[in-house]
Amino acid sequence: MSLRAITVLSFFLIVSACGGMPLDDRTKPDENNLKSSRMNPADADSVDGIKPEKIYLLVGIDSRGEPDSRSDAILLARYDRAGNRMKLASIMRDSYVKIPGYNNGYNKINMSYYLGGTKLLKQTIYENFHIKADHVATIDFQGFIQLVDLLAPEGIKANIKPEMIQDMSLEATKGEQVLHGDEILKYVRFRHDSESDFGRVKRQQEVLLQLKDIMYERLYSVDGIFTLPHVIKETFALTDTDMGVKELAELGSIMLFHQIEDVSTLRIPVEGSFLDKSYPHSGAVLQINKEENKRALINFFGE
């Protein structure tokens, strides 16, 4: 996976998810078709008086402005306000899943975005894993580069492998280095080693956690409260989300008083739950054990 979604995760997720807004009816596949069965938010189950939290879908787009593109990074996140914890699950783009309405039935999960955008991607995730995303945010290459530099102007630490330098044309030496937007994009996109896409996921989550810490350091500084409105405005301009500026601003202010103390991560497919396969219509894929991975996601998010 690449890091495009990290731009959203580094701010949209940290800001939006920290809001802890009540969730209504996360486990319904299509909001338009199930309006009559929607649950009243006031009737939702709660723990110690706190409503279940929303789940956010963050999508990194493999594009530099082209009209047709695929989702190169797919992440689900949830903030548990009761425990002041964040949960982050990465779904690997080559996961072989059933795509609703698709002629061949199954393909890589990133094909669902290519065929039907975020709407079909959300439906695909629900039908395969029984997890419904409440809000979505997407971003492409250029948006990522600009937003990482906005959020972390002093750069991000990364452990550079020798093979990364030549493969990604990085202007860096091996070992721990401080990288910026374009370099970080190359760093997380790298996959030509023994870890392949699994290494991408690990680096993606690694950079996310650094960005989270950097954001908190900035926002809890003397001028943090004055910086937040500008950061929200710029972030909103660089991302495509179904949340409005006002809601992001409100959630951002809540974040200042609810610093995340613990972050749990998960990778789908989980270890030992997939096989490397290849099909004429899709190429190399990760053929997952659907039930095992569905259980893993449901248990992870506390459903």
Our count of domains for the chain comes to 1
Q: How far apart are CA 85 and CA 97, in angstroms?
A: 29
Residue 30's pLDDT is 36
Q: By three-state DSSP, how is residue 197 classified?
A: helix
283 phi-psi bin (left φ>0, alpha ψ -120 to 50, beta other)? left
112 lies in a domain?
Answer: yes
153 lies in a domain?
Answer: no
User: What sign results for the dihedral spanned by CA atoms 169, 173, 179, 185?
Assistant: positive
235 lies in a domain?
Answer: yes
- CB 21, CB 53: distance < 8 Å: yes
β partners of residue 275: 287
Counting Cα atoms < 13 Å in the Cβ hemisphere of 17 gives: 29
Three-state DSSP string of 59-124? EEECCCCCCCCCEEEEEEEEEECCCCEEEEEEECCCEEEECCCCCCCEEEHHHHHHHHHHHHHHHH
Domain interval for residue 263: 4-146+224-301
What letter does residue 239 receive in the DSSP assignment? S
Largest CA distance in the chain: 59
Residue 167's pLDDT is 81
Residue 42's pLDDT is 31
129 lies in a domain?
Answer: yes
175 lies in a domain?
Answer: no
99 lies in a domain?
Answer: yes
* pLDDT averaged per 10 residues, the chain (length 303): 40 37 30 31 35 77 60 81 78 96 95 93 97 88 84 89 84 88 85 78 80 75 69 76 69 60 87 96 96 96 77
134 lies in a domain?
Answer: yes
Angle between helices 196-219 and 141-151 (to 10 degrees): 40
How far from 296 is each of 121, 268, 302, CA to CA, in Å?
19, 8, 10
- CB 196, CB 171: distance < 8 Å: no
Residue 250's pLDDT is 59
Q: By three-state DSSP, how is residue 257 classified?
A: coil
44 lies in a domain?
Answer: yes
Q: Tell me, what CATH number does 286's domain have? A: 3.30.420.590
Q: Is the pTM for the entire model greater than 0.95?
A: no
Q: Is 30 exposed, middle or buried (0-12, 13-18, 19+ CB in 10 A)?
A: middle
